Structure formats: structure tokens, C-alpha cells
Amino acid sequence: MPRVVPAVIRALDILELFLDRSQLSARDVAERLALPRTTVHELLVTLVARSYLISVPGQPVEYRLGLPLFQLGSAFAGRLDLVREAQSVARDVAAACNEAVHVAVLDGADVVYLVKVDSTHPVRMVSGVGLRLPAHCTAVGKVLLAGLDRPALNAVLAGGALAGMTADSITDPDRLREHLERVRAEGVAVDNGESDTAMRCVAAAVRDHSGATVAAMSLSAPIIRWTPAGHEEWAGLVREGAATLSARMGFVATPR
């Protein structure tokens, strides 16, 4: 196996710092990555030369992500049937319930949101797309984990105790395994304040032609609008939406 190119790794490390912060100075970067100042300047100059970062004049100069990343990200998404189909299905589901609808995929022990459709409230549509959260704290994540086979799930949970996002998050791997059994049985997962104490979510699995769980669709609302009756209706809607998207991904439901 050929060796990795450390300079490239460092450049990617720098780009990824900007996932959490919109602007950073050279000093910020050097501190966060424990790199020498000169090295950081050379890498930043390189990324700016290709517009992957944009420099913001000031004292100190700061940097922001640049347009080429948007182009590459869009190229990625544009080639993913899942994203294209999920956009329209999610819009239909959101229109039916007037709450936010998301579609996410599993990446390691996290979920990454590919699609978000908000309700008719003031639109902040793009903000959650691309976001990464711990799978075990989210309804979509629990659906995705429930779809893993035993060895894959064990690999994800191999790190021992799980970090919670709120006091309600499940942090014990064995408890999560029991919970996922229930998710499998019911076909939906619920986030009862585990990722955000003020939110409630319900999610269902999206499957592809082979029957594998490849994504999860969720419906989420602030707790002030969450009711038992609403919950039942929303579970039904998200099940239908996920089934529609699954059909578009080639899934053929068989009687069970």
C-alpha cells in the first residue's frame, strides 16, 4: 500500500477545522493542529491560492471556506440518486405535517444529514445539511444502527461508553442494543430529547434494492408541538415517506 502524503493530510485537517468555525486565523489553526507557524502559513497560502480558503483582511488575517468546496460537494450530491430522490419525498412529507424532515446516512459512529426540508416557518433550509451528529443520540442514527448486522454494530460500539449530547442520551452500549431491538421491532425510532432537549424526532429506515438500510428519514418538531396523537400521525407519515423513498431506491417490500 503506497504511503500517505502528510502535507495533504495536514491541508485536509485545516479544511476540516472550518466545519466547526466559520473563520479562523493562522494562529488558531496552528494551535488547534499543533503545527509550526511557518507550516501553517504555507498550507494556508496554498489553499488560498486555489480558493479553497478565502482570506479575510484584518489583524490578524482570518480565513473562510471557499467556493470550490461547494462545487465539489454539489458534484458529490448531484451524483447520489438518494439525495435527488430524498429532496422531493422529504418535501412532500414536510408539506403533509408542516414540520422539519431530514434524511441522513451513517458514517462511522455518526450520522451526516444529506437533506433537510423545513416547515413553512421562516426558512433556514441549508443549515443542517452536512451536519454530523453521534448516531446513538438521534432518531435517524438509531434507525441506521438498527439496520447494521451484529459484527458491524459491535465495531461501531467497540469504544465502550458513549458520549451523550443531553441527560436523556443513551450512553450505555448494552442499553442501546436493547433499544435497537425495539427499533427493529417497531420499524421506527424516537429521539426523546437525546440530541436536543427541546426537540422530538421520529425516524424510519430507507432501504435500497438489496434491502439494506442505506439512509433514514426523520420528522422533527419542537417539544411544544409534540403530542401523543401527533406522534402517531407523524410516525405514520415518516414510515410512508421512508417507504416511498425506499421504493425509489429500488427496494421491493416483501410480505413478512
Among 14, 18, 24, 26, binds DNA (CB under 7 A): 26
x/- string (CB under 8 A) for a copy of itself, residues 127-166? x-xxxx----------------------------------
Footprint on residues 59-98 left by DNA (CB under 7 A): 59-61
Contact by Cβ (8 Å): 132, 112 = yes
Footprint on residues 109-128 left by a copy of itself (CB under 8 A): 112, 114, 123-127
Q: What is the DSSP string of 2-14?
A: PPP-HHHHHHHHH
Report, in Å, the least distance between residue 176 CB and DNA. Answer: 35
Contact by Cβ (8 Å): 141, 135 = yes
* Torsion 151-173-112-50 (CA) sign: negative
Q: Is the peptide bond before 6 cis (omega within 30 degrees of 0)?
A: no
Q: What is the crossing angle of helices 81-97 and 228-248, to 10°?
A: 150
Looking at the Cβ atoms of 55 and 171, the one nearer to a copy of itself is: 55
Among 33, 77, 109, 247, binds a copy of itself (CB under 8 A): 77
Contact by Cβ (8 Å): 203, 231 = no
- Where does this chain bind a copy of itself (CB under 8 A)? 1-5, 7-9, 11-12, 15-16, 18-19, 22, 38, 41-43, 45-47, 49-52, 64-79, 83-84, 87-88, 105, 107, 112, 114, 123-127, 129-132
